[in-house]
Amino acid sequence: MGCNGLLWIGRVLILMLLVHEVVGWGKDGHYTVCKIAEGYLSEDAVAAVKELLPPSAEGELAAVCSWADDIKWYYKWHWTSPLHYVDTPDFKCNYNYCRDCHDSDGHNNSCVTGAIFNYTSQLYSAYQGSNPQSNYNLTEALMFLAHYIGDVHQPLHVGFLGDLGGNSITVRWYRRKTNLHHVWDTNIIDSAVKTFYGSDLAIMIQAIQRNITDSWSNNISSWESCGNNRTVCPNLYASESVRLACLYAYRNATPGSTLEDEYFLSRLPIVEKRLAQGGIRLAAVLNRIFSTEVKIAQA
Ligand SMILES: [Zn+2]
């Protein structure tokens, strides 16, 4: 990525003392992103995804979209925990790959956007490259990619370093003590499912799908597009997220505050839109990776 001259040693030392407790969208958020993506996959992508999915998925991408969260507690997979987020400098409200994409030990590219580039290129080179023999586990690559594209759309996964993406901001969600990061991963979605969708996630997903075909239908192609024929553009997704973090997540959510109806009702549309964008973009990326058109054209 050509990132030089990073002055992060001080930050690294501070970070080494802290454990970044990050889950990503909760299970429901990831399920929603992947369920939405499933509806927008091309025929080629449906076939390739089916072939790559592990038997436990029973042919359903959404069934394995939290796999990357489930495994990261195992020692073998510990190295993947920094891949769920990227921290940005406090109060800057912007994101820069070279400045921000590293883990707390200073390893470059070890962050959510780096992971998205990496797993996209593993899959892309296997399906679009001249040498289809891949040394990578492409089933894992698909499951990681589906998960991390979800994560990068959660605004506080591109939050501030100083508060660990809202993890160290203790707040109340109605009467319950929690932290701001968790509010965005889980509480907003949980409360919405209970309050507006009869405690049924499937109904919430249908409502988001309806929004995609109605209110957001004119936005779909701009969400899908990456410019310059690129397969994926996680830097764009991350820049949007940190902006939303500043505009909505951090605003009026200082340590010790109680977040209730006003916060919930004004932030829920943001969460629903990010889940929709995550799903549409995941499908677009998989459609580009697994497209057979390029190969036929070249033949
Ligand atoms: Zn995650």
Question: Can you list the domains of the chain with their CATH numbers?
Answer: 25-298 (1.10.575.10)
List the alpha helices (DSSP H) in 72-173: 97-100, 112-128, 138-152
Strand pairing class (258-259; 170-173): parallel
User: Which residues on adjacent β-strands are paired with residue 173?
Assistant: 176, 259
Strand pairing class (170-173; 176-179): antiparallel
Where in the chain does DSSP place strands (E)?
170-173, 176-179, 258-259
Span from the CA of 81 to the centroid of ligand 1 (angstroms): 8
The pLDDT value recorded for residue 97 is 98
Span from the CA of 256 to the centroid of ligand 1 (angstroms): 25
| pLDDT tens profile 264-293 | 999 999 999 999 999 999 999 999 999 998
Residue 106 neighbours by CB under 8 Å, 6+ apart = 6, 8, 9, 12
User: Which residues on adjacent β-strands are paired with residue 178?
Assistant: 171
Sign of the dihedral defined by the CA atoms of residues 276, 279, 284, 287, in that order:
negative
Q: Tokens 């009869």 map to which residue?
A: 198
| pLDDT tens profile 113-145 | 999 999 999 999 999 987 777 889 999 999 999
CA distances from 269 to 94, 181, 222, 273 (A): 22, 17, 19, 6
Span from the CA of 25 to the centroid of ligand 1 (angstroms): 6
| pLDDT tens profile 139-174 | 999 999 999 999 999 999 999 999 999 999 999 999
Span from the CA of 293 to the centroid of ligand 1 (angstroms): 32
The residue among 232, 230, 222 whose CA lies nearest residue 145 is: 232
The model's confidence at residue 299, banded by pLDDT at 50, 70 and 90, is: very low
Average pLDDT over residues 206-216: 97
d(CA 38, CA 44): 12
d(CA 251, CA 132): 48
The pLDDT value recorded for residue 252 is 97
| Percent of the chain's residues with pLDDT above 90 | 85
Dig out the tokens for 127 from the structure.
Answer: 């399906």
Span from the CA of 129 to the centroid of ligand 1 (angstroms): 28
Residue 222 neighbours by CB under 8 Å, 6+ apart = none
d(CA 132, CA 130): 6
The pLDDT value recorded for residue 293 is 81
Span from the CA of 51 to the centroid of ligand 1 (angstroms): 24
Span from the CA of 195 to the centroid of ligand 1 (angstroms): 25
CA distances from 134 to 64, 159, 177 (A): 22, 35, 47
d(CA 37, CA 121): 19
d(CA 166, CA 179): 7
The pLDDT value recorded for residue 294 is 55
Judge whether 106 and 9 are in contact, CB under 8 Å: yes
| pLDDT tens profile 235-255 | 999 999 999 999 999 999 999
Span from the CA of 157 to the centroid of ligand 1 (angstroms): 9
Span from the CA of 26 to the centroid of ligand 1 (angstroms): 8
